[in-house]
Amino acid sequence: MPLSGRAMSAQDALIAVMLVTSAASGEMRESERREIQSIVGLLPVFEGYDGGRLPSLTDLTLKHLQREDGLDSLVGLVRKALPPHLFETAYALACDVAAADQKVDAPEMRFLEMLRHELGIDRLNAAAIERGSRARHTRA
């Protein structure tokens, strides 16, 4: 998925994963949008990223998902854009977005499973990442 005539960057791919996680349930919840903005603004992996690109990347990602093979295609593009050392990061960010509203519904779980398989994250590491996300998003 080109962005402004360029190939998808690793940062764009990480954001696309978060956007797809949020959209998996059929709507992008406000808590998930805030989570994505917070993550992009705080994490070192997004250092130097122009947050002003988020609206256009969101539009491109959602349009790509509307294609017949949109989800499979997008996950393939993400895998190609990410260096292997960011595979677990991508999964962790997806889990954080899914946990942001305190509930992970079936479509989000299916997407997380698909992403885990595509990125080759073993079940034990995935469980640890998932537990960390739940712990970070637990409310008092």
Domain residue extents for the chain? 10-136
pTM: 0.91
User: For 92-131, how does the pLDDT look when each residue is reduced to its tens digit (9 = 90+)?
Assistant: 999 999 998 888 889 999 999 999 999 999 999 999 999 9
Distance (Å, whole) CA 97 – CA 78: 17
Report residue 33: phi and psi, to 5°.
Answer: -60, -45
CATH of domain 10-136: 1.10.3680
User: For 20-39, how does the pLDDT look when each residue is reduced to its tens digit (9 = 90+)?
Assistant: 999 998 888 888 888 899 99
Q: Which residue has the tokens 């991508």?
A: 90
Is it the case that residue 5 has pLDDT exceeding 60?
A: no
